[in-house]
Amino acid sequence: MKMQSSMRYAEIKTSTPNYWGILVVLAVIALVGFAAAHHMDTEGHHITGMTNQVVWGLPHVFAIFLIVAASGALNLASIASVFGKQDYKPLARFSAVLSIALLVGGLAILLLDLGRPDRLIVAMTYYNFKSIFAWNIILYTGFIVIVLTYLWLMMERRMHRWSKPAGLVAFIWRLILTTGTGSIFGFLVAREAYDSALLAPMFIVMSFAFGLAIFIMLLMLSFKLDRRELDDSHLQRLRKLLGHFTAAVLYFVIVFHLTKLYGTQNHDFERFILLDGGVYTLMFWFFQIGLGNLLPLAMLYAPGLQRSNPALVIASLLVIVGAFAQLYIIIVGGQAYPLNIFPGYIVESRFFDGVISEYTPSLWEFLLGIGGVTSAVLIALLGIRVLPIMPEGLPAEVK
Amino acid sequence: MLACLLGVLPGGGVIAADATASSFGEVMIPSPAKPADANTCVEPVEVMRRDHMKFLMHQRDATVLNGDRETKYSLVGCMDCHNPASVSEEIIRYENPKHFCAECHAYASVKIDCFECHADRGLARSEQSSLTLNAQSRALSAHTFSHKLEQTRGD
Amino acid sequence: MATELDNIELRPARRKFLKSAAALATTLIAPGIILYKTGHASNTSNKNPRWGLLIDTNALSESDVDACVSACQREHGWESDPNSRTDAQWIRKVKLTDPESGHQRFLPMMCMHCENPPCVDVCPTGASFKRDDGIVLVDKHTCIGCRYCMMACPYKARSFIHETLKDQLPVAPRGKGTVESCTLCVHRIDRDGSNAVPACAEAVNQGDRKAIWFGDLHDPQSEISQRLQALGAVKLRADMGLNPGVRYQGL
């Protein structure tokens, strides 16, 4: 019988200079990111690499990554509350905090990249309910409220019995949210790279993997900062989960491309991604499949590495690298490939019809993206400092 | 931009403005230029001062969504009257503190973003408008517009 | 299993503060849905006109199409550098080459003013909308510049304004951070109705020659409808079921 009823949670102590050092660095980077966004707003987007052909770029890769990871980060809490696996219960609070932090970071990037970010009030009050984007605005803000409520219910002893239904609500909401995020692309009939029902479930599985990878790294980091005990048995569970989720992502990628390859009309697009798309092909095979899927799978399942913490950390990092590559290919590659308006003809125009569009990310976009990531990590690290989120210790389980 | 608009006199341009300031250091009460050939605006001044935004906000939806143009409250109409050749030979742009809208808005310290998109001068003073492609059509339009304006002033 | 621990209030003052802060925040944050726009005109009856264009590509030489583009530029006050990836392009000259025969033709491409526009479907604020008379426009007062409509447009008709603009024309307000596209010269249509001639059509219809027809697709007696009945036309990407208002002959 596990000792979960006597699990104590406590704030991370700030006696370590490392903790403050990390926070300061993160805060500075986040501020630089916001300054970059301000510059983009005053100068206009011509200073970025985004154009009329590739309208969404690096900031959106970062933002979608954070939003997808946010949804997945809540997974551990869901496994505890919804599926009743008590082993994961100690991690549930941090899971909730991390998911909120990541979502806020992702939303910040999206909002700051808008052409008219001063019109946020318009976005919050004028809704076109046929637009999945409009639904996403409601889903994202609702997610924050729901998860905050869920967190409170978990932490408030007297309300503890409500945490299970709250967890179920959060779980379902999160599935809808991630479906909505995948459908941003899946609903676009105009582009060959999108227009697929598979994108929504693929994003859900991606969220499991990406969220867990970040969770593992931050869990290990914060326990190390505060010198709390983190027994291998807990990490074993997370290691296995990350392996399963990464394998599932690979499965969806294979099915997606195989399906597109089957239809002759998609051959040019598939050739672009898989063979002669230059940077996109390199990213696909080396970064996404190689570093993002195959190598982590090897490291997570290799019998000799089952107790290796460094292997777990590296595998998590690699999953994140693969995540960025995958999202870059989906978001930017999907736009770089030209629209097929005149099948059978060679098309040329001054508006770059018929050619692969070039896109070179600018420094400003990178800074904005990094600013969002650091904001998210900052919020998470601050959260565990001011609230009793982290378990005081995760010792070896008593069987 | 606002900092330089407040209390700064522009150079050049023949402008029939009456800014009242009896000594150095007093705040300039705005007195935006009115066209020489018109007596009244489409509404009395007190009404316009308070409610011009209401009229504009309603009008913009009417124009964009329904296509009602060249009506009493059209922004192009405002600019036609308030930035005409009779006031200043040189076209006054919004960045110039003597622009009709800029004068009061700088005084009230209310930033507006209309002119990020909208032309800050009227039809007659814009180069390459559709009306210049067809001079007759242009004369017809200007006549129709001023006729409409006279009708509304008569109300 | 309840223990004494369950009844102990840890840090009561902070709990009180957090409770009241949460209550205040919830009441402040609840978003009010002030305006509900679906973006689609509610009427589908044929009593309203539906404006459309019919472009005869056989009658258009390369310089004709260039004239279309220049006319639109002069009318609305936009310009574009040929090497610029960020300049707006309301209408563009497209060169089609048949790879087998080598035959070339030129045609102007602009917003297709679809009956079922994907750009209207995806706009989160409803800024991208279709008027009752079929013209698809962007309400730039409501546009937040998210560029999702540009992702959704099957014809790449829309442009985002990447820099501060000066010298906008009164008939065509346009500004940084919003999205725009061909308006079918809506300012002319609002003034002249079915007698209107969009700038691109005016540029190529010289004298007796006509290469671009403008008119009411719902009126079987209009010139455009009659020409469509007689000669038919092609809708670009017809398989998508969007029923564009701009159609081409000669393709």
Domain boundaries, chain A: 4-246+359-391
Question: A touches which chains (3+ CB pairs under 8 A)?
Answer: C
Q: What are the CA-CA distances from residue C114 to residues C92, C240, C241 (Å)?
A: 18, 11, 9
pTM summary value: 0.86
> Is B121 in Cβ contact with C187 (below 8 Å)?
no
Of C36, C93, C123, the CB nearest to A349: C93
> Is C126 in Cβ contact with A127 (below 8 Å)?
yes
- The distance of C190 to chain A (nearest Cα, Å) reads 26
Q: How far apart are CA B126 and CA A92, in angstroms?
A: 64
pLDDT at res. B90: 78
Tell whether C140 lies on the interface with A, counting CB pairs under 8 A: no
Of residues C191 and A29, which shows the higher confidence score? A29
Poorest-confidence range of A210-219, C15-24, C34-43, C212-221? Answer: C34-43
Tell whether A252 lies on the interface with C, counting CB pairs under 8 A: no
Best residue of A9, A11, A38, A46 to probe chain C, by most C CBs closer than 10 Å: A46
- The distance of C9 to chain B (nearest Cα, Å) reads 50
The CA R_g of chain C, rounded to the nearest whole Å, is 25
Tell whether A76 lies on the interface with C, counting CB pairs under 8 A: no
> Is A346 in Cβ contact with C124 (below 8 Å)?
no
CB-CB contact of A339 with C236 (8 Å): no
* Residues of chain B with a CB closer than 8 angstroms to some CB in chain C: 60-61, 64-65, 67-70, 76, 79, 116-119, 121-123, 126, 128-130, 133, 141
- Domain encompassing residue B50: 2-153
Q: Tell me what the mean pLDDT of segment A369-393 comes to.
A: 93
| pLDDT band, residue A46 (cuts 50/70/90) | very high
Share of chain A above pLDDT 90, in %: 76
* pLDDT tens-digit readout, C168-183: 998 899 999 999 999 9
CATH assignment of C51-249, among 1.10.3720.10, 3.40.50.300, 3.30.70.20, 3.30.565.10: 3.30.70.20
CB-CB contact of A368 with A111 (8 Å): no
pLDDT at res. A48: 95
Tell whether A126 lies on the interface with C, counting CB pairs under 8 A: yes
| pLDDT band, residue A84 (cuts 50/70/90) | confident
Q: How far apart are CA C103 and CA C126, in angstroms?
A: 42
What are the boundaries of each domain within chain C? 51-249
> Is A353 in Cβ contact with C92 (below 8 Å)?
yes
Tell whether C126 lies on the interface with B, counting CB pairs under 8 A: no
CB pairs under 8 A between B and C: 65
Chain-wide mean pLDDT for chain C?
87
C234 Rama sector, left if φ>0, alpha if ψ -120 to 50, beta otherwise: beta
Is the Cα dihedral A77, A81, A84, A90 positive or negative? positive
Question: C touches which chains (3+ CB pairs under 8 A)?
Answer: A, B
Poorest-confidence range of A14-18, A206-210, B109-113? Answer: A14-18
**Contact residues on chain A for C162, CB-CB shorter than 8 A:** 44-46, 51
Q: What value of ipTM does the predicted structure carry?
A: 0.91
User: Residues 6 or more apart from A43 whose CB is under 8 A from it?
Assistant: C163, C164
Tell whether C155 lies on the interface with A, counting CB pairs under 8 A: yes
What is the per-residue DSSP string for A70-126?
HHHHTHHHHHHHTS--GGGGGGHHHHHHHHHHHHHHHHHHHHHHSS-GGGHHHHHHE
pLDDT at res. C43: 40
Pairing of strands A9-10, C179-180: unpaired
- The distance of A242 to chain C (nearest Cα, Å) reads 33
| pLDDT band, residue C41 (cuts 50/70/90) | very low
> Is C156 in Cβ contact with A189 (below 8 Å)?
no
- The distance of B26 to chain C (nearest Cα, Å) reads 33
* pLDDT tens-digit readout, C48-99: 899 999 999 999 999 999 999 999 999 999 998 888 999 999 999 999 999 9
User: Residues 6 or more apart from A384 whose CB is under 8 A from it?
Assistant: A11, A12, A94, A97, A222, A390
Highest-confidence range of A29-33, A257-261, A384-388, C18-22, by mean pLDDT? A29-33
pLDDT at res. B146: 44
Poorest-confidence range of A83-92, A320-329, C156-165, C183-192? Answer: A83-92
Q: Tell me what the mean pLDDT of segment C142-148 comes to.
A: 96
Cβ contacts of A17-21, under 8 Å, gap ≥ 24: A18/A225, A19/A225, A19/A226, A19/A381, A19/A385
**Contact residues on chain A for C3, CB-CB shorter than 8 A:** 5
pLDDT at res. C13: 65
CB-CB contact of A300 with A312 (8 Å): yes
> Is A125 in Cβ contact with C33 (below 8 Å)?
yes
Tell whether C240 lies on the interface with A, counting CB pairs under 8 A: yes
Number of Cβ atoms within 10 Å of the Cβ of B48: 14
Is pLDDT above 60 for C186? Answer: yes
| Closest residue by Cα to residue C201 from C193, C192, C210 | C210
- The distance of C91 to chain A (nearest Cα, Å) reads 9
Of A45, A51, A342, the CB nearest to C96: A342
Tell whether C190 lies on the interface with B, counting CB pairs under 8 A: yes
pLDDT at res. C37: 44
Of residues A125 and C21, which shows the higher confidence score? A125
Residue A350, class by beta-carbon neighbours within 10 Å (0-12 exposed, 13-18 middle, 19+ buried)? middle
Is pLDDT above 90 for C5? Answer: no
Q: Tell me what the mean pLDDT of segment C152-181 comes to.
A: 94
pLDDT at res. C180: 96
pLDDT at res. C238: 95
A10-28 burial, b at 16+ Cβ within 10 Å, e below that, comes to eebeeeeeebeebbeebee
Cite the DSSP H helix spans in chain B.
2-5, 45-61, 75-82, 100-108, 114-117, 130-133, 135-153
Q: What are the CA-CA distances from residue B87 to residues A255, B2, B83, B91 (Å)?
A: 71, 24, 7, 9
pLDDT at res. A160: 84
Q: Tell me what the mean pLDDT of segment C192-207 comes to.
A: 92
Number of domains in chain B: 1
| Positions in chain B whose pLDDT score sits under 70 | 1-28, 36-38, 84-88, 127-155
CATH number of the domain located at residue range(s) A4-246+359-391 in this protein: 1.20.1630.10
**The C92-97 sheet, strands edge to edge:** A346-349, C92-97, C104-109
